[in-house]
Amino acid sequence: MWLIRINMTDRSYSVEEAPDTLETMGGRGVTSTIIHDQVPPLAHPLGPSNKLVFAPGTLTGTAAPSSGRISAGAKSPLTGGIKESNAGTAWAQHIANLGIKALVIEGQPEEKGTYWLIHLTWDDEEERPSVEFLPAEDYVGRDLFEVFPKLYERFGDRVTIAGVGVSGEYGYANSGIVYNDNNKRPSRYSGRGGLGAVMASKGVKFVIADPSGAPRREVVDRELFNQGRRKMREALGSHAITQPEGGLNMYGTAVLINILNEAGGLPTRNFSSGRFEGAAKIAGESIFEGIKDRAGEEVFNHGCSPGCIIQCSNTWLRPDGSEHVSCIEYESDWALGANCGIDSLDDIAEMIRLCNAYGFDTIETGTTIGVAMEAGVLPFGDGQGAINLIEEMGKGTPMGRILGGGTEFTGRAYGVTRVPTVKGQSMPAYEPRAVKGIGITYATSTMGADHTAGYTIAPEILAVGGDEDPLSPEGKAALSRAFQATTAFIDSIGHCLFIAFAILDIESGFEGMVEECNGLLGTNWTTDDVIKIGSEVLRKERAFNEAAGIGPAHDRVPEFMTYEPLPPHNQVFDVPKSALDSVYDEL
């Protein structure tokens, strides 16, 4: 496979064979390795020395189910450390179909505010990918819902798109990288860590991928690969959470709203309570019934990328039955809903639509508004006021620029002490005082507070892969460590993280995941190698962060969580510092 380097200082590029050191790596393993090896840890995230790396998962571009994932990596302007932000999109598969192991974007135009479009195609004569630079001035400063149709009109219906909205142009630390979904909407995101600002700082507005004419990916052992693929499909198709017309396919990820609310772990009104009285109004069940009412029939969810068989993405409709937004995911629903005291799905949908249009991370946006509400900028529960604040962000007003800096920046600007961040990144939709294992993940992850870094919610709340008491800190450091390492492996091979539900409970599914990789690559991995390989990725990320000045002292939850009891259980975060330190000391 190919490694493409694009230098935006002089708009030159090179296409070279990927080094042997990356041969069995994909996704997060590739992005974190390149950032670790090639980016100075003290570089400014928006300066010329930072690099933006895109890498499809190892299995991406094959027939492995639910494997259409892309990793974007860089030094984060939000955390100041290493960042990998993962998304499901057909763009990932097109990059893999072009034979690209990694797309490395470096340098930046001498003239700030100059933007280019990168067009990736297949060169039949050279038998390798080709790169074309095109001016992108016509697309700057515009709503992404207006721009995407124009890009498809220009380049054809078969291309896929990655890009940034105005949030990246403004350099906001809460800006994401946007990709198309299966219906060509700008709605799939590498949302976390401010990587949209990194992409924009390179002068790159969009990357268009067209794999027409490219050869199919080679599979070393087709029989073994197909055996693993069948095991994975069977596991996903039979598990209660991932099966067709089951939990995620029916109610989407927002099925967790009622579950976490009942557990007392749904952060409400800027993490001041674990229960929200309006939870039932915004839960996955209400979304399903609301769509059914407005569509006039039951509507099951769709996939984020071709080949997804979990299919957890919904499309919310307006009262007249027209499309409002796709999709209302759990973290977005919570961040812009319960965390802000808002119980209107229509208001939440409009905020998500605006985030998609401008290029914002919905989690960081919702927690930022929650802190602004805490500061008295507007009252909790003010849906229209929250919508107005997102529009301010999109316009780049002084208020908008403060909020665009993220949750921690806004907390400092307003002198707020209840600021739910770790390493500069805001916590997602699980309360650490009520779910201790996820709190350890938040505190110790190399990525800043990130539920996807080590999803201990599975055994702590859903009784998947075990049945752990969420209120107890006992044994949770080892649990988080194992989940973080396994997640790093899954992020590297390109499967959706939601396969974890099935492979934790169904041994053949876990075996199938490894067999897919061995069949594709010709490796001899065993299931025991999953944690070993994931741990090596984590060690590289940890080393980068420590060199950037982010060490064990930063592996802590916010202080207020250690002394403010959280209703309804009246728990504080009581995990000993020694347990937090052990997560990486024993890796």
Burial class from Cβ neighbours inside 10 Å (0-12, 13-18, 19+) for residue 539 reads middle
Average pLDDT, the chain: 97
% of the chain at pLDDT higher than 90? 99
Domain boundary (166, 185, 209) is at 209
**Tokens at 418, concatenated:** 């209840």
Kindly report, residue by residue over 450-465, the tens digit of the pLDDT.
999 999 999 999 999 9
pLDDT value at residue 296: 97
| CATH code for the domain of 486 | 1.10.599.10
Residue 153 CB contacts under 8 Å (≥ 6 apart), including other chains: none
Among the residue ranges 105-109, 110-114, 172-176, 250-254, the one predicted with the least confidence is 110-114
Cα(464)–Cα(241) distance, integer angstroms? 10
What residue type is 3 in one-letter code? L
Q: How far apart are CA 483 and CA 437, in angstroms?
A: 10
Rg (CA), the chain: 22
Kindly indicate the confidence band of residue 577, based on its pLDDT and cuts at 50, 70 and 90: very high
Residues 466-493 pLDDT 10s: 999 999 999 999 999 999 999 999 999 9
460, two tokens: 């702590």
Tell me if 385 is assigned to some domain: no
Tell me, yes or no, whether 306 lies in a domain. Answer: no
pLDDT, tens digit, for every residue of 201-248? 999 999 999 999 999 999 999 999 999 999 999 999 999 999 998 889
CA distance 209 to 135: 16
| CATH number of 165's domain | 3.60.9.10
Amino acid 526 reads: T
The pLDDT of residue 175 is above 90: yes
Short-list 206, 18, 170, 198, CA closest to 107:
198
Residue at 355 is within a domain: no
What are the backbone dihedrals phi and psi of residue 132, each rounded to the nearest 5 degrees, phi first?
A: -130, 135
Q: How far apart are CA 133 and CA 567, in angstroms?
A: 55
Give the angle 366-372-373 at the CA atoms, nearest 5°. 90
pTM for the full predicted model: 0.98
Alpha-carbon distance of 179 to 157, in angstroms, equals: 14
Burial class (CB in 10 A: 0-12, 13-18, 19+), 126: exposed
| Mean pLDDT within 536-548 | 98
Per residue in 512-529, pLDDT (tens digit) is 999 999 999 999 999 999
Q: What is the pLDDT of residue 246?
A: 82
Kindly give, in sequence order, each residue whose CB lies less than 8 Å from that of residue 418, ignoring residues fewer than 6 positions away.
Answer: 270, 271, 272, 371, 374, 558, 560, 564
563 by Cβ neighbours in 10 Å (0-12 / 13-18 / 19+) ranks as exposed
Whether 170 maps to a domain, the answer reads yes
Put the strands of the sheet holding 52-56 in their side by side order: 12-17, 2-7, 100-106, 52-56, 69-75, 82-88
Domain count for the chain: 2
Q: Cα(292)–Cα(560) distance, rounded to whole angstroms?
A: 42
- Look up residue 110 and give its two tokens: 């001498």
**Does residue 204 belong to any structural domain of this protein?**
yes
Distance CA(237)–CA(361), nearest Å, equals 31
Tell me how far apart the alpha carbons of residues 235 and 239 are, in angstroms, rounded to a whole number. Answer: 6
CA torsion 50-87-408-268 (nearest 10°) is -170
In sequence order, what are the beta bridge partners of 3?
A: 16, 102
The candidate with the shortest Cα–Cα distance to 186, out of 177, 198, 194, is: 177
Contact status, residue 260 vs residue 429, Cβ threshold 8 Å: yes
**Residue ranges with strand state E in 18-106:** 52-56, 69-75, 82-88, 100-106
The Cα–Cα gap between 75 and 42 comes to 9
So what's the pLDDT on residue 84?
98
Is residue 259 assigned to a domain?
no
Is 77 within 8 Å of 45 (Cβ atoms)? yes
Residue pLDDT, tens place only, 280-310 = 999 999 999 999 999 999 999 999 999 999 9
- Compute, in degrees rounded to 10, the torsion defined by CA atoms 217, 220, 226, 229: -70
User: What is the average per-residue pLDDT within 155-179?
Assistant: 98
Q: Where are the beta strands (DSSP E) in 355-397?
A: none
**Per-residue pLDDT averaged across 140-146, rounded?**
98
- Give a yes or no: residue 37 inside a domain: yes
Ranges of beta strands (E only) in 8-148 are: 12-17, 52-56, 69-75, 82-88, 100-106, 116-123, 128-135
Instruction: Tell me the β-bridge partners of 178.
Output: 163, 189
Domain closes at, from 183, 209, 235: 209
Phi, psi of 273 (to 5 degrees): -155, 160
Pairing state of beta strands 421-422 and 177-180? unpaired
The SS3 call for residue 119 is: strand
**Predicted local confidence at residue 351, as pLDDT:** 98
DSSP conformation class of 138 = G
pLDDT at 117 over 90: yes
- Tell me if 120 sits within 8 A of 230, measured CB to CB: no
Q: How many CB atoms lie within 10 A of CB 506?
A: 18
Q: Residue 392: how many CB atoms within 10 A of its CB? A: 17
| Of the residues 189, 209, 229, the one at which a domain ends | 209
Residue 471 lies in a domain: yes
Backbone angles phi, psi at 51, to 5 degrees: -125, 150
Q: Residue 59's domain spans which residues?
A: 2-209
Q: How far apart are CA 286 and CA 489, in angstroms?
A: 35
What are the two backbone dihedrals, phi and then psi, of residue 205, each rounded to the nearest 5 degrees? Answer: -95, -50
Least Cα distance to 40 among 550, 548, 552, 551 occurs for 548
Identify whether the C-beta of residue 371 lies closer than 8 Å to the C-beta of residue 417.
no
3-state secondary structure 418-440: CCCEECCEECCCCCCCCCHHHHH
